[in-house]
Amino acid sequence: MLVIWGRKTSSNVQALMWCVGELDLHVVRHDVGHRYGGTDTAAFYALNPNRTVPVLQDGDNPALWETGAILRYLANRYATGGFWPEDLLARTEVDRWAEWAKLNIALGFTAPVFWRVVRTPEAERDLRAIDTAVTAFEQKLDIAEQQLAKHPFLAGEAFSLADIQFGHVLYRYYDIEINRKPLPNLHAYYARLIQRPAFQEHVMVSYDELRA
């Protein structure tokens, strides 16, 4: 049985739970972190010395931390077909876009944009810094816009692990109150993602508890 530690409003946990849902795996999840606490306990430290979520344990195997590593583990162990191809070059293409999304999209949005808009009191928001961060973020989205003009999914013709790492950010990007540039291919791609039941269940989650 899979056990996951991490609150459902964590974007990293959402990426992991979306993956679990797409792979149709049974999981038990414990709310840990932020308002739920729990990361400062000795028991959690034994699971992850960084005291961050998510953490995954698969049966009697050692606990795993770092979202990208957990996602690759699940893909290697449980995925089939285009989600995580057997062919090395095809799998590397998926992995390349997944890594790009983690470093450029998730990290470029969560703290620079989302935290400044949602997790900062309105009176304390630096609107110039937000605009600058959105502009920098959308320069990266332009890369995806070009890729999605050629393929229905980020790494090619099939939904894959790359879409998990990339797509989980888009719900909040399209939901928060910011000025967005028109990116028609990206918007069409997002419209496809929101039709996926696992995306609806695990990513389209209220983040009101995170508001300042």
- Give tens-digit pLDDT for 25-61: 999 999 999 999 999 999 999 999 999 999 999 999 9
> What percent of the chain is modeled with pLDDT above 90?
100
How confident is the model over 57-101, as pLDDT tens digits? Answer: 999 999 999 999 999 999 999 999 999 999 999 999 999 999 999
Locate the domains of the chain by residue range. 2-79, 83-203
Hey, what CATH topology would domain 2-79 get? Answer: Glutaredoxin (3.40.30)
Provide mean pLDDT across the span 95-124: 97
Q: How confident is the model at residue 113 (pLDDT cuts 50, 70, 90)?
A: very high
How confident is the model over 151-186, as pLDDT tens digits? Answer: 999 999 999 999 999 999 999 999 999 999 999 999
- Could you report how far apart the first and last alpha carbons of the chain are, in Å? 36
Q: Which strands form 2-5's sheet, in the order they lie side by side?
A: 27-30, 2-5, 55-58, 64-65
Task: Note the pLDDT of residue 138.
Answer: 98
d(CA 44, CA 89): 37
SS3 state at 183:
coil
Hey, what CATH topology would domain 83-203 get? Answer: Glutathione S-transferase Yfyf (Class Pi); Chain A, domain 2 (1.20.1050)
Provide mean pLDDT across the span 112-118: 98
Q: How confident is the model at residue 130 (pLDDT cuts 50, 70, 90)?
A: very high
DSSP letter, residue 153: B
